[in-house]
Chains A and B, each alone.
Chain A
Amino acid sequence: DIQMTQSPSSLSASVGDRVTITCQASQDIDNFLNWYQQKPGTAPKLLISDASNLQAGVPSRFSGSGSATVFTFTISSLQSEDIATYYCQQYHTGLNFGGGTKVEIK
């Protein structure tokens, strides 16, 4: 099984800060990596597919990069509405999620 390790598990940042989350796969998954945002009490929302493809309607301050085993998710300028938990998800072999990163406002 492919293990997905996200870091950090939580972070606190100020509005306007650049925020970066890392997701590491236990083996090469090419670019089969997606990012989701989940706000409390709601279903996850797909933000980025295939490592770097921003979904329609998602603000351009969100971005993703990486390939093989190391991937990054970036919010270029954190906004108050970005408070959520973010998950990476691989689908190279089966489908599974990272443990999540909870983003809070400092």
Chain B
Amino acid sequence: QEQLVESGGGVVQPGKSLRLSCVASGFTFRSYAMHWVRQAPGKGLEWVATISFHGSDEFYADSVKGRFTISRDNSKNTLSLQMNSLRAEDTAVYYCARLLFSDVAAPMGPLDCWGQGTLVTVSS
């Protein structure tokens, strides 16, 4: 069974850091580009960041560029999101998601496998 499980969410003060993790199982993790997508309470979906399947290419939304870093450890089937200088507007459920297509150079596309999400609350 293909599965993504996020962890690391919690309550953090503005300006502080948090690291999210997403552990994959049931599929060949190293063959898929991976994404982080977030959803603020009561709001729509917002793409956050993408990493290619080999980990060499990273892409970020303007709203997080320079503050967030996406990374992956293919030996541990783990995707990470390091979030620094957090702001109140970063409060959201953070989902990791997998690209539909495997072993493709283009990392953007349909996202067919999602985790259950982890809630990050930035508040003093």
A100 to B97, CA, bound (A): 18
B residues less than 8 Å from A32 (CB atoms): 109
A59 CA to B104 CA in the complex, in Å?
28
CB nearest neighbor in B for A35: B110
Query: Chain A: residues with CB nearer than 8 A to chain B?
Result: 32, 34, 36, 38, 42-46, 49-50, 55, 85, 87, 89, 91, 94-100
B110: chain A residues within 8 A (beta carbon): 34, 46, 49-50, 89, 91
Question: How far, in Å, is B120 (CB) from chain A's closest CB?
Answer: 16
Cβ–Cβ contact B117 & A97, under 8 A: no
The winner among A32, A38, A43 for most chain B CB atoms within 10 A is: A43
Task: Choose from A46, A55, A85, A94 the contact partner of B108 (Cβ within 8 Å).
Answer: A94
Check B46 against A97 for contact (C-beta < 8 Å). Answer: yes
Q: Are A97 and B111 neighbours in the complex by a CB distance under 8 Å?
A: no
CA distance A89 to B46 in the complex (A): 10
> Which residues B78-96 have CB closer than 8 A to chain A?
95
- A96 to B108 Cα, complex, angstroms: 10
B112 is an interface residue with CB less than 8 A from chain A: yes
Whether, in the assembled complex, B55 has its beta carbon less than 8 Å from a beta carbon of chain A, the answer is no
Q: Is the CB of A43 within 8 A of B95?
A: yes
B47 at the interface (CB under 8 A from A): yes
B44 A46 Cβ-Cβ under 8 A: no
Shortest distance from the beta carbon of A26 to any chain B beta carbon, whole Å: 16
Q: Which residues of B contact A46 (CB under 8 A)?
A: 100, 110-112
B51 to chain A, nearest CB (A): 12
CA distance A13 to B17 in the complex (A): 44
